[in-house]
Structure 1
Amino acid sequence: MTTKSEIQLPIDELIALAIETFGSKTMADAWLKKENFVLGATPISMAESDAGLTEVKKILSAISYGGVV
């Protein structure tokens, strides 16, 4: 059984990665809460599963390094 604290740690890491990618908490929060065409959902909601979290991290990496998703 997964506890809320076990889920929160990867979410916190994702938020930190988004802040690093976008340069501010405000911009990171906006991106995480906005519907993403590639994901078909908001990044923050996708990050509730391990597979979704991996996909969101891939997109953030692509944004940071100019790669293709």
Structure 2
Amino acid sequence: MTKKSELELRIDELQILAIETFGTKTMADAWLHKENFALGATPISMAESESSLEEVKKVLSAISYGGVV
């Protein structure tokens, strides 16, 4: 069994948060792979760095709680 890379762990974390936010894996995946105006990229591509991942988490939190980014 191989150990997951940091990138794979960040992607897993992001997918879990997106599913919690949108309710289904299908909706989460659609959001993660669509260009996001607020982020300037696809959310999934931003998992490459911890700081970018934090920006995606902020957007997901805003969606969940009706706030602004």
Question: Same-fold call, TM > 0.5?
Answer: yes
Gaps of 5+ in 1: none
Question: Counterpart of 1:29?
Answer: 29
Q: Point out which structure has higher relative CO (alpha carbons under 8 A, 6+ apart).
A: 2
Aligned residues: 67
Contact 2:11-2:47 within 8 A present in 1 as well: yes
Which shows bigger deviation, 40-49 or 22-31?
40-49
Give the 4+ runs in structure 1 shifted more than 6 A: none
- Structure 2-normalised TM-score? 0.90
Question: Does the alignment pair 1:14 with 2:14?
Answer: yes
- Structure 1-normalised TM-score? 0.90
Question: Does the alignment pair 1:41 with 2:41?
Answer: yes
What is the rounded CA distance, in whole Å, between the counterparts of 1:7 and 1:46 in structure 2?
10
Q: Which amino acid aligns with 1:65?
A: Y
The root-mean-square deviation of aligned C-alpha atoms, in Å, is 1.4
Offset of 1:4 from its aligned partner? Answer: 5.9
Gaps of 5+ in 2: none
